[in-house]
Amino acid sequence: MRYVSTRGEAAPRGFEDVLLAGLAEDGGLFLPDAFPQFSPAEWRALRGLPYAELAARVIHPFTSSGGTGGAIAFEALHAMCRDAYGSFRHPAVVPLVQLDDRSFALELFHGPTLAFKDVALQLLGRLFDHVLTRRGERITIVGATSGDTGSAAIEAVRDRAAVDIVILHPRGRTSEVQRRQMTTVLSPNVANLAVEGSFDDCQDMVKAMFVDAPFRAEMKLAAVNSINWARIAAQVPYYVAAALALGAPDRPVAVSVPTGNFGNVLAAWVASRMGLPVARFIIGANRNDILARFLSANDMSARPVEPSLSPSMDIQVSSNFERLLYSLLGEDAAATARTMREFRATGRMPVPDAAWKALSAKFHGFTLDDEGTLAEIRRLHDGAGYLADPHTAIGTAAARALAPEDRGIPVIVAATAHPAKFPDAVERATGLRPPLPPALADLYAREERFSTIPNDLAAAQGFVRAHALRNAA
Q: Which residues are catalytic?
A: 117
Residues with Cβ < 8 Å from 167, sequence gap 6 or more?
Answer: 142, 143, 144, 145, 149, 150, 153, 154, 182, 190, 191, 192, 193
DSSP label at residue 449: -
* Torsion sign across C-alpha atoms 341, 346, 352, 355: positive
**Nearest-angstrom CA–CA distance, 252 and 249:** 7
* Torsion sign across C-alpha atoms 398, 403, 404, 409: negative
Of residues 471, 470, 467, 447, the one with CA closest to residue 459: 467
**Nearest-angstrom CA–CA distance, 291 and 354:** 17
| Beta strands 103-107 and 96-98, pairing class | antiparallel
**Nearest-angstrom CA–CA distance, 95 and 113:** 17
Measure the CA dihedral 227/460/149/192, to 10°.
Answer: 160
The 10 Å Cβ neighbour count of residue 102 is 17
Q: Are 104 and 413 in contact (CB under 8 A)?
A: yes
DSSP label at residue 12: P
CA distances from 252 to 42, 264, 409, 411 (A): 16, 19, 7, 10
**Nearest-angstrom CA–CA distance, 120 and 116:** 8
The 10 Å Cβ neighbour count of residue 236 is 24
The 10 Å Cβ neighbour count of residue 336 is 24
Please give the sequence-ordered ranges of beta strands (E in DSSP) within 277-362, or none if there are none: 278-285
Bridge partner list, 106: 96, 414
**Nearest-angstrom CA–CA distance, 29 and 260:** 17
DSSP label at residue 80: H
**Nearest-angstrom CA–CA distance, 226 and 31:** 12
Q: What angle do CA 71, 230, 213 make, to 5 degrees?
A: 95
**Nearest-angstrom CA–CA distance, 234 and 14:** 16
**Nearest-angstrom CA–CA distance, 424 and 419:** 10
Of residues 34, 43, 130, the one with CA closest to residue 84: 130
Buried b (16+ CB within 10 A) or exposed e, 23-32: bbebbbbbbb
